Homo-oligomer: A and B are copies of this chain.
Amino acid sequence: MRIALDVMGGDHGPSPNVAGAILAVQAIPDIAIVLVGDKPQIESLLSADGSCSSDRLEIIHAPQAVDMKEKPAEALRRKPDASIFQCWQLLAEGKVDGLVSAGNTGAVVAGGLRTRKFLKAVHRPGIATVMPTARGRCVIVDVGANVFPKPRHLLEYGVMGSVFAQRILGIERPTIGLMNVGEEEGKGHDLVQKTYDLFRASPLKERFVGNIEGRDIHRGAVDVVVTDGFTGNVVLKLSEGVFEFVMSMVQREIIGALSVEKDKATTALKELLGKYHYSAFGGAPLLGIAGVCIICHGSSKERAIANAIGVAAQGVRMRVNDAIVAELETLPCSDAE
């Protein structure tokens, strides 16, 4: 199995990407990684790491990087050969099975939309992310690929999120909820009302629990949360923000109140932070494309990159895409673009 890694992507440049790739080839025996980025920099990082001269690490020279703040459409026009777009090209040509990037999310998605290698019956790809809940974990789709979707797109996100929950999280019969402003039927704007009706009329209806509210996500009310990319992106970043905020309050107001057991509490806090940190799961898959694409947090360090490569490999191995195509074939036809 071959995975392309966007070495130029992320807040910290090539270093954590190359280090993550080294960790991944050491941990996963059947993987080869194509390091797509500036060749001299990659070679220097590899030779600095004495531990590794793996023949499962290959380099493709792509010196241009898309900046984290760059507009995706402009990047596509001005830097068509940037590292992330070359990763997509390798995937489109069948030279790799998947790609991993910690770069500009918009550019990752734009690259995928340009090659347009979507799975059969998928109208638009969506980004899934895994969040911790009081009952385990849930998947939320979409968190930013498609900020103004059609109802059909959301129905397909339900299918894709559900397959992901089954194959990757091991949830046998995932329940699905639609993000809304109230639980009752008829709540919300036109998009969610039409999406609600589509789910109710689909083969997913038995597992579709209906509308859910913001407070239901972390209670673990459902296994798959379906939402538009605008709301989903806010949900993802807000969850991180509240978590961070509450943890700093806990540090100051609870741990700060202790004396003899302060160290013990601090250790427990660090474990809690580690368990629910974004790097614990290892990246967000862009579901719906032919191949596997894992998008990492821009601030990912080597451990997060290695985890993401692991998730990509698992996606290939578990044939997530075959299952998505099979499930989508059970839906009624649609002419949504």
Complex interface: chain B residues within 8 A of A267 (CB)? 257
Q: Distance (Å) between the CB of A199 and the closest chain B CB? A: 18
Interface flags for A206-233 (1: CB within 8 Å of B; 0: not) read 0000000111111100000000011101
Stretch at the interface among A152-160, A258-266, A309-317, A324-332: A258-266
Q: Is A269 an interface residue (CB 8 A)?
A: yes
Do A257 and B265 have beta carbons less than 8 Å apart?
yes
Task: Say which residue of B186, B189, B233, B236 sits within 8 Å of A71 (CB atoms).
Answer: B186
Interface size bucket, A side?
A: 35 or more
Q: Nearest-CB distance from A95 to chain B (Å)? A: 31
Interface residues of A (CB under 8 A from B): 69, 71, 106, 132-134, 144, 147-148, 179, 181-184, 186, 188-190, 192, 213-219, 229-231, 233-250, 253-255, 257-261, 264-265, 267-269, 271-272, 276
Name the distance in Å between A154's Cβ and chain B's nearest Cβ.
14
Alpha-carbon distance between A257 and B229 when the two chains are bound, in angstroms: 39
The copy count of this chain in the complex is 2
Specify which of B144, B184, B215, B233 is in contact with A241 (CB 8 Å cutoff): B215
- Closest Cβ of chain B to A299, distance in Å, is 12
Task: Give 23 pairs: A residue, B residue, CB < 8 Å, sorted on A.
Answer: A69-B184, A133-B245, A134-B245, A147-B181, A148-B190, A181-B229, A214-B236, A215-B237, A216-B241, A217-B238, A218-B241, A218-B245, A219-B245, A231-B231, A234-B235, A238-B242, A242-B246, A246-B247, A253-B272, A254-B254, A258-B264, A260-B260, A265-B265
Distance in Å: Cβ of A206 to nearest Cβ of chain B? 23
Q: Are B214 and A234 in contact (CB under 8 A)?
A: yes
* Chain A interface SS verdict (over half): helix
- Most B CB contacts (10 A, CB to CB) among A230, A236, A245 go to A245
Q: Is the CB of B261 within 8 A of A244?
A: no
Min CB distance, A326 to chain B, in Å?
A: 32
B237 adjacent to A234 (CB under 8 Å): no
Measured CB to CB, the nearest residue on chain B to A262 is B261
With a cutoff of 8 Å between Cβ atoms, the chain B residues found around residue A217 in the complex are: 238, 241
CA distance A53 to B107 in the complex (A): 68
Docked-complex contact A230 and B189, CB < 8 angstroms: yes
